[in-house]
Amino acid sequence: MSILIVSAAIKTQLAKPGKGGALLIEIFVVNTKGKAVTDLTKENFSIRIVYNSARPGHPEPAYFPEVEEIEDESGLYTMSVFPKTGGKTEFWDEGEYLFRITAKDSKSNGHTLLSVNIV
């Protein structure tokens, strides 16, 4: 299995403590030769909260309803991330979050970590 190089950054932060607003995340995926990986879908990505300073030691899921590929930016994707399963009664805690983002295709995968402070 080959390796994908995955990087991520927060584009817009609507998440606030006690609310369920989204984190808009941009994800860039290339192979080890630097060639952009295109045509990935929601099924090719996963995201998990591996650390939450309000509840250390309790990893939890994060919900993203869709992944969109930016057409003019080959290999660049965006996703809106919500707490846990994205339900109307689920909210962000105040504090530092560490997300593990995974991208995979039919023969390769890669991971990155993204730190976000929700205040």
What is the per-residue pLDDT across 78-113, written as a single tens digit (0 to 9) for each?
Answer: 999 999 888 888 999 999 999 999 999 999 999 999
Count of C-beta atoms within a 10 Å radius of residue 25: 24
Does the pLDDT of residue 13 top 90, yes or no? no
Instruction: Indicate the pLDDT class of residue 117, thresholds 50, 70 and 90.
Output: very high
CA distance 81 to 52: 15
CA distance 16 to 30: 31
Domains of the chain: residue spans and CATH = 2-118 (2.60.40.10)
pLDDT digits (tens, 9 = 90+) for 15-74: 999 998 999 999 999 999 999 999 999 999 999 999 999 988 888 889 999 999 998 778
Structural tokens at position 82: 């919500």
For the chain, the helix, strand and coil percentages under 3-state DSSP, each to the nearest 5: 5, 55, 40
Mean pLDDT along residues 111-118: 96
Asked whether 52 and 112 are in contact (CB, 8 A), the reply is no
pLDDT score at 71: 82
Structural tokens at position 24: 């808009």
pLDDT score at 108: 95
The residue among 50, 14, 27, 41 whose CA lies nearest residue 110 is 27
pLDDT score at 25: 97
